Amino acid sequence: MKRLKRLMTARRLSLGLILGSAALLYLSTVIPQQVEAAPGALAAWRAGHRGLLWLVDLLRLHNIYAQPWFAALNLFAALSLALSSWDQFAAARRRLAADGSSAAELCAESVPLEKLYRAARAHGYRPLATAGAERVKCVKYPWGYFGNLLLHLGIALAIFASSVVALTGRQGSLVLVEGEQREPQEPWLASEAGALAAPLRLPGGLRLNRVRVGFDRLNQASEVTSELTLTEPGGRSVPLSAAINRIERYGNLRIYHSAQYGDAFSLTLTGADGAAHTVKIAVQQPVSLAEAGYSDDLATAWSPYLLSAKSFADVKGRSMTSGNPLVVLRLMNGAKEVARTSLTLGATGTLGEYRVRLDGVEKWAKLIVVDLKGMEAVFAGFAVIILGGLIHYLMPPRELFGVREADGSYRVYWRTTAFGECFAEERDRLAAALRKGQR
């Protein structure tokens, strides 16, 4: 067991884990990953690297972060860090009490104890309790001994908690237009669930009542809030309000407002055969009066073409909240534009072979529903990392040792636990203060 622990806390292993992790992450930037690769990029990469495909597929390198071996590697690293933190705790306690005068530089000789303490205090060194007056020790930033311990403990906690979140977390996203309700049995727009989590279900029907958008003096959206109603299975209605950067909570769930929101245009398109088709196309909120917001291309069952739209906030270009947007509709054949028309509310136009009418405009918003367990531990880990890192790198302990001589005065030694030459000036100032008044 001791041998295993020694192996787990070996410095070579730590270095290997750091370099191995960096190399693995680099690999994930070279091999396209399913989670973020652009459409076609993955297939193009595979076509150009046929000789490597057996290895890529064996290790599932197109989805590195979701692999059990990746989670196992993370947990192994967390365990190694936790064990090494335990050792560092013992080492920090030892160092705090240790007499390191034999390894320190001689700073001054024949210094009375009172003078030693006075000079030490004046330079920020605190006397530590020592056994007898034979040897005394003063330390600047004694908590610095524990900085490295905290840094490593924080990293271990953050990795461990992140792994729990990744394995048990789940989320789903949905797009709602004002007045629309989504039921629990309906599919999500997109969803994810960790290996140990069941798929997420809404706890009741979720209705979008209204989307409110506030603008600043530069006409930039400063606040976006969706007012919602959740109807529980028992029939009770719960009012909810999700806003960008303001999370709504319902039980274990958190509801996030996405940055995707805008106007949904209700259209009626009438073909040459007299058949009328109604569609609703969601356009992203324009970022300014002069710039348009754009929709995704919309495929329909009744047309061989894709329908796309862009819109401006105000047909007169005066106000982001005019309620009178201008929408430009296009029929696309792949990348080629087949027809185009511009409409305001209630207006009719011609779009290729269709007569099209803009019947109404409502707001839409994309919401993200999240169920994550362990985030508190992740953030606690972050806090410990920050505390440990700042202590370790900004406040390395400096030690002053006094060794009593036969005449009752002290030989004074100084040393720093890290960054030796960086504190030479402090050492020299201290030495000057200790020697002051001596011949």
Partner 1 sequence: MTLSYMQMVAANWAVVLMYVAAAVFAIAGVQFEKDSLERVGFRIASAGLALHSVLIALRWREVGHGPYMAPSEVLSSDAWMIVAGLLVCRRLYPRLKAVGVLALPAAFLLLALAQFYDPGIRSLPTTFRSVWLIVHIALYKISLATLVIGCTLAIFYLMKKRSDAGWRQRLPSLEVLDSYSYRFAGFGFIFWTIGMLAGSIWAYQSWGRFWGWDPTETWSLITCLTIAAYLHLRRFFGLRGTLGAWCFIGCFVISVLTLFVMATLSGSIHAQYFK
Question: Binding residues for partner 1, per CB under 8 A?
Answer: 11, 14-15, 18-19, 21-22, 25-26, 28-29, 33, 35-36, 38, 65, 162, 165, 171, 216-218, 220-224, 244-245, 247, 254, 256, 258-259, 287-288, 291, 368, 370, 372, 375, 378-379, 382, 385-386, 389-390, 392-394, 418-422, 424-425
Q: Which is nearer to partner 1, 98 or 165 (CB)?
A: 165
User: Of 332, 312, 309, which is closest to residue 322 (Cα–Cα)?
Assistant: 312
Q: Which is nearer to partner 1, 77 or 111 (CB)?
A: 77
Tell me the HSE value of 79 on the side-chain side, using a 13 A CA sphere.
11
Q: Which is nearer to partner 1, 15 or 198 (CB)?
A: 15
Q: Which is nearer to partner 1, 97 or 247 (CB)?
A: 247
Report the C-alpha gap between 275 and 333 in whole angstroms: 21
Report the C-alpha gap between 179 and 182 in whole angstroms: 10
Nearest distance from C-beta of residue 261 to partner 1, angstroms: 9
Nearest distance from C-beta of residue 249 to partner 1, angstroms: 12
Q: Which is nearer to partner 1, 54 or 419 (CB)?
A: 419
Nearest distance from C-beta of residue 293 to partner 1, angstroms: 11
Report the C-alpha gap between 374 and 196 in whole angstroms: 14
Q: Which is nearer to partner 1, 65 or 294 (CB)?
A: 65
Nearest distance from C-beta of residue 222 to partner 1, angstroms: 6
Nearest distance from C-beta of residue 341 to partner 1, angstroms: 27
Contact 411, 403 (CB under 8 A): yes
Q: Which is nearer to partner 1, 325 or 402 (CB)?
A: 325
Q: Which is nearer to partner 1, 102 or 245 (CB)?
A: 245
Contact 243, 253 (CB under 8 A): no
Nearest distance from C-beta of residue 246 to partner 1, angstroms: 9
Q: Which is nearer to partner 1, 94 or 118 (CB)?
A: 94
Nearest distance from C-beta of residue 320 to partner 1, angstroms: 11
Nearest distance from C-beta of residue 290 to partner 1, angstroms: 10
Nearest distance from C-beta of residue 220 to partner 1, angstroms: 5
